[in-house]
Chain A
Amino acid sequence: MAIQYWRRRDRYYRLVGSRCKDCGDEFFPPVYKCKGCGSEHVADKEMPRTGRIVTYTQLHEPLPGFEAQAPLYLAVVKLDNGARVLTQIVDSPDDSVRTGAKVEATVRRMRVDGESGQIIYGYKFVVRS
């Protein structure tokens, strides 16, 4: 199933989202149609790599493949352009993971896929003081 993730490598490694050519709204994940004005004139665009935590949780019961990372922090992050990303927060002291905290994107190992052991990489965010 690794091809399912390889297909999205630009999004997972470089945070490629969408920009609406008509109204300028930006989105991540990418959209087929602008959620702001309804235009279908949308193009790929790299998102800013910094933003703030809107809400977060510490998950104690991980999904299959994520056991070694538990408990893990997940957050909704509002990027500096207004786009919202669901992401893990890593390499950050417990007391720094707070609503409003400033965070920055990084690339990390997500998990190891299937019996072939292919490593899947993607974005995670780190708290920046």
Chain B
Amino acid sequence: MKSRAYVSSVGLVPVGDHWEKSIVDLAVEAARGALKGSGKRKPDQIIVGNMFSAVGAKQEQLGALVASALGLAGTPAYKVEAACSSGGTAFNVAYNLVRSGAIDSALVIGVEKMRDLEPEEISGALAMAESAEYTQFVGASFAALNGLLARYYMEQLNVTRDELSAIPVIDHANAVTAAHAQFRKAITPEVVGRSAMIADPLRLFDCAPVGDGAAAALIVNDSAASGSKRRMAEVLGGRVATNEFSIFEREDMLDFKSSREAFKGAMSQAGLVQKRLSLIEIHDAFSVVGALSLEAMGFSKRGQGSKDAKAGKYARGGELPINTFGGLKARGHPVGGTGMYQIAEAYLQLTDQAGKNQVEGAEYAATQNIGGVDTTSAVHVFGRAA
């Protein structure tokens, strides 16, 4: 029996350097936030989205570990991994289970502990999202692949340095008033264009930072939602899609097929047309990835993603606000946690709990979470609960 699905509450740990907290501390803190006020009712399942706990914390079996720490041993619990899209993909599993009628509720937690690693170890861990045999083998980091993509994008479609800087600038502007954001400071395009070179032409401020974090949400069906006084957001659609694994294998590197397909699927499930969206949280792990995502999902024409951002289309007062709490660049990108931050942020917007970051009258919101360079995408669409 198909059921409607709702996000009934969320929990967020501010993204940053949590030297004093372990991966379990982070997951429990976010989970408690999402479970607060749910009384004696326990979630039917616990699903943890995480990318590299084996490397970052020498820890696997996160599902049972977190369930036990929460005093919920006995509950079915497991981890879902899809690189940086682990959070969004974990949520998609929960959504499909609730929607199908298999379960009434699930607690979904996205978590990553990055800071226990040295900088080069973090590069090594992130590179595991890409081919061990043909990408890591030749010494190509994740940033290097995005550098290759950025140069191709700029040369093929005549995109300038200043235009590429527009999405990071929007992220930082939105993060200034976001309590859980890692970098709450506005920047200019000049700051981006003068920052240290990482993988030419990508500079430090084109790239999402490293940070620890966890975000969680409780997803429930009609029966679990009934009688609750909580403010809820309805999950209207959700889809995961994949692309050819590596960018160099693809006929057209600039076509983000997995984002396109996941967005199309989620929107069609929701029965919504693009222009109904009040905001979207996009996966801009690198400036170029944000631009290509907006193009793939049809908000900008080919080659226009960064140009439209520069013209103001995606700013908070613009036609379609993106990354309303700072996106990956400024809210931060604790990789396996990111997808759940996006979902928590969409929930805050649709329940009027976004404070100074509130998009007035927000009715519908979407989240787009990518693993690899558009290799896996998880897109969800939410609406204000009736």
Q: How far is the CA of A61 from the CA of B120 in the complex (A)?
A: 8
Say which one of B131-139, B167-175, B268-276 lies at the interface with A.
B131-139
1/0 per position for A60-82, CB-CB distance to B under 8 A? 11111111010010111000000
- 7 residue pairs, one from A and one from B, having the closest CB atoms: A57-B147, A55-B152, A66-B139, A58-B200, A59-B144, A76-B248, A86-B248
- Identify 7 residue pairs between A and B in the complex whose beta-carbon atoms are under 8 Å apart, listed by A's number: A4-B133, A5-B137, A57-B199, A58-B200, A60-B200, A63-B127, A65-B139
- Which of A61, A84, A87 has most B Cβ within 10 Å? A61
A63-B123, A111-B139 known; A99+B134 contact, CB < 8 A? no
Q: How far is the CB of A80 from chain B (nearest CB, A)?
A: 16
In the complex, the chain B residue whose C-beta lies closest to that of A27 is B249
Whether B137 and A67, one on each chain, are in contact in the complex, defined by CB atoms closer than 8 angstroms, is: no
A54 lies within 8 A of chain B by Cβ: yes
In the complex, the chain B residue whose C-beta lies closest to that of A76 is B248
Q: How far is the CB of A16 from chain B (nearest CB, A)?
A: 13
Interchain CB contact (< 8 A) of A110 among B123, B139, B144: B139
B350 lies within 8 A of chain A by Cβ: no
User: Among residues 245 to 271 in chain B, which have CB atoms less than 8 Å away from a CB atom of chain A?
Assistant: 246-249, 253
Whether A55 and B151, one on each chain, are in contact in the complex, defined by CB atoms closer than 8 angstroms, is: yes
In the complex, the chain A residue whose C-beta lies closest to that of B132 is A4
B369 lies within 8 A of chain A by Cβ: no
Q: How far is the CA of A74 from the CA of B247 in the complex (A)?
A: 13
A55-B155, A59-B141 known; A86+B134 contact, CB < 8 A? yes
A126 lies within 8 A of chain B by Cβ: no
Chain B residues with a Cβ under 8 A of chain A = 119-121, 123-124, 127, 131-141, 143-144, 147-152, 155, 196-202, 244, 246-249, 253
| Residues in chain B near residue A75, CB distance under 8 A | 148
Chain A residues with a Cβ under 8 A of chain B = 4-5, 8, 11-12, 29, 35, 54-67, 69, 72, 74-76, 84-88, 99, 110-111, 122-124
| Residues in chain B near residue A64, CB distance under 8 A | 120-121, 123-124
Interchain CB contact (< 8 A) of A86 among B151, B155, B246: B246
Whether B120 and A63, one on each chain, are in contact in the complex, defined by CB atoms closer than 8 angstroms, is: yes
| Residues in chain B near residue A65, CB distance under 8 A | 139
Whether B138 and A59, one on each chain, are in contact in the complex, defined by CB atoms closer than 8 angstroms, is: no
In the complex, the chain B residue whose C-beta lies closest to that of A57 is B147
Whether A57 and B137, one on each chain, are in contact in the complex, defined by CB atoms closer than 8 angstroms, is: no
Whether B138 and A61, one on each chain, are in contact in the complex, defined by CB atoms closer than 8 angstroms, is: no
Q: How far is the CA of A55 from the CA of B120 in the complex (A)?
A: 24
Q: How far is the CA of A88 from the CA of B136 in the complex (A)?
A: 11
In the complex, the chain B residue whose C-beta lies closest to that of A75 is B148
A86-B138, A88-B139, A110-B137 known; A56+B151 contact, CB < 8 A? yes
In the complex, the chain B residue whose C-beta lies closest to that of A55 is B152
| Residues in chain B near residue A54, CB distance under 8 A | 152
Whether A72 and B139, one on each chain, are in contact in the complex, defined by CB atoms closer than 8 angstroms, is: yes
Whether B151 and A59, one on each chain, are in contact in the complex, defined by CB atoms closer than 8 angstroms, is: no
Q: How far is the CB of A26 from chain B (nearest CB, A)?
A: 13
| Residues in chain B near residue A11, CB distance under 8 A | 133
Interchain CB contact (< 8 A) of A87 among B127, B136, B138: B138
- Which of B119, B139, B144, B151 has most A Cβ within 10 Å? B139
Q: How far is the CA of A11 from the CA of B151 in the complex (A)?
A: 27
A57-B144, A88-B139 known; A67+B120 contact, CB < 8 A? yes
A55-B148, A60-B198, A60-B199 known; A74+B249 contact, CB < 8 A? no
Q: How far is the CB of A92 from chain B (nearest CB, A)?
A: 15
| Residues in chain A near residue B201, CB distance under 8 A | 57
In the complex, the chain A residue whose C-beta lies closest to that of B196 is A60
| Residues in chain A near residue B127, CB distance under 8 A | 63
Interchain CB contact (< 8 A) of B147 among A59, A87, A123: A59
Whether A57 and B148, one on each chain, are in contact in the complex, defined by CB atoms closer than 8 angstroms, is: yes
Whether B248 and A122, one on each chain, are in contact in the complex, defined by CB atoms closer than 8 angstroms, is: no
Whether A74 and B139, one on each chain, are in contact in the complex, defined by CB atoms closer than 8 angstroms, is: yes
Q: How far is the CA of A57 from the CA of B248 in the complex (A)?
A: 13
- Which of B197, B244, B249 has most A Cβ within 10 Å? B249
| Residues in chain A near residue B148, CB distance under 8 A | 55-57, 74-76, 86
